[in-house]
Structure 1
């Protein structure tokens, strides 16, 4: 929305329009962070504070880089800085850190708000998957821009249920443009999946001034069903009379959000289909947090293809890719559904084994080693794996655990390859005597 555009909605004063926009923002699933042109934080809504663990006083005057940490991707930050210096707009994702040190994945957009002369007065950062929104210090233009840029669908009806406003997110989810639904009732989305009892309960809540939230099956403009988490909230005037209803819909069917497909692509290795290193680092962080909270350990396997460089140099990269994919298939076949198989880089792989003790981890590792040793690759012949196994410890760090399992892997290499070595005594669990 252009910041010079009037905030008035059809048939409403600017004051009532601002009231509706403010109320819409307060119940959005997104969070909002506002900085000045110097990138210093001038506002963070409660949803943002809940997400990060920082209070508003902690954030005011700070640079958002305070949220960065070891897993924050520098290339994304560099791209963001370059974009803000040119177009002023940016969208991307990386790892940030809460006040308590725990990492989280954030996806965000940054948009400039310009004054009448075109100068940048603010930057707005809108972030996903947050259930509440409150923006006390924002201007009407900031609220309007935040609502229109929201990933969630937002529409506003009058007290009679006639739609007066719908944002771009509504069009993305339902297929209906704002022009097609303004002046109509939400029944245009009706799928027929809910009976009269459901709607009686809905209106009983709303008529009493209470918000209503439920999973609702709507129908897309193209005819297919969309399963939405929908929140409907009454808006009252100063006299306590309900004047409008604000609805926020979140598509739970994953049919219309292309960014979810991009997220899947960004987290998986294109050759093997396994998690890539970046996603693996996140999984390792999460596993350590869960282990510490539950006072339970987990195990980590690190495996490397023996003499892979010689195979690549002799038989070419296509044959090397075939072997890498074979290892990935074996890892998926020999591990549990709850395990995380990761292509760590090149010919190196990691397997995260949650709620797994060392004996079970050694058994899984040996099954992987044996399955690979039994494989045959035409002229390349028999290819083997060396595997290191380590168990997490109290107050472990990702770096410390990775260093230990890496030591076991290289111990397996030094002892002759094609074997599993554990952290207990760095002696091989089992080996093929033919090597």
Structure 2
């Protein structure tokens, strides 16, 4: 049995060292080391015998661990712990100790046997894990991980800050709680088909926060595999680009909208006209236009100044948005002139709309100028009309309305 025990210790994968139980200076001395201990420390067995194990300690050896070790040895108790030790060549390694007292026939502690294991790779892996976890926590981008079924298993503080949801309350829930309705079911089918097929999915998501506000997320969703290569989770990293999107939208508005009236400008209005004209022609739909002009606008500018003139333009723009239908398009065509596109309406219906606009504008007054009025010309599409001919007939009708006394409509 003694031979078997010795063979087992000699061939053990774990390092084994036995020391005396002397606790007074110079302290315990090494009386046995197995080959694994020699390999771990870089010392030959002959260099270790009679030495104190503290020769393996160095700058990064934790004093509190050594202090706890001494207390256990002094009290004859079992000790378990880990710290940094140093090899003969000065390189460091993390060691895990299990030290037990060995008692003689009188029950006195005569030796200490220590089974040790180099855990440097394990500690390095844990450090990498902790580093990655810290990186996810401090990442300014939103990070969410779900399981295969789409249940949230992790969300970082950036997610909490932007969505308004505490991560604890979303654990186990599906990210669909953020859906805003801006994406159709085909979008989400493509998402899951892609990631469950092993590929990354990239897109800009329009989500809503807990308070209902919308935000834009430039998001990449990547499948995560286990050691067997099986997809088990999905990692989503999203950059909030709401500010950039809002800026781009503002720039588009500046390029397409008249800043004074809030209506489409002439350039964008011509694009709308072409689009609506082509659609009406393709589907054989009726179509009409209204030309409107603010009466005596030059006199208003000359007498009250351009500031008041701008107020008049702004007010008329607001009234046109209020008085027209959702399907209509009111455009600032130039100066004090406006064009209203009236899809799916013949000249008679468009004249009725023009009259409502005329009466609505004339029904209010400016505190300095008084009543503001419009003259309006209406033209409905006729067979073989071109856009140019249709606009010319509306413009001619507008001219007749002005010649006829203003604050009136004429149908061309």
State the TM-score bracket (shorter-chain normalisation): 0.3 to 0.5
Larger Rg: 2
- What is the TM-score of this pair, normalised by structure 1? 0.44
